[in-house]
Amino acid sequence: MPSPSRKGEEYREGELDHILSLAPTQGNIKLLGKLLERSEKAIQIVYKIAYEQGPFGKTADVQVRKIQASKKRLGIKIGSR
């Protein structure tokens, strides 16, 4: 499988909202990775930052803020941040 072509690039407007509007199922993660040209791991990291506690995202302040803003826009009230 070829590597995702958008590795290291910022998420486009609305992409984080789209990711977080779907349940973090394996099928959704796989589909989102394909549609957004990201690795499944990259999609999983977005969900982890949004919903779990742990060391991931500690140095990704910009991405954490963008995910928090996306959760607020979507009205998501649960999660670690």
For residues 15 and 6, is the Cβ–Cβ distance under 8 A? Answer: no
For the chain, give the mean pLDDT. 88
Q: What is the pLDDT of residue 57?
A: 59
Decide if 51 contacts 24 (C-beta within 8 A): yes
Question: Does residue 4 or residue 24 have the better pLDDT?
Answer: 24
Per-residue pLDDT tens digits for 25-64: 999 999 999 999 999 999 999 999 998 877 665 677 888 8
What is the CB neighbour count within 10 angstroms for residue 19?
Answer: 24
* Half-sphere exposure in the Cβ direction for 12 (13 Å, CA): 6
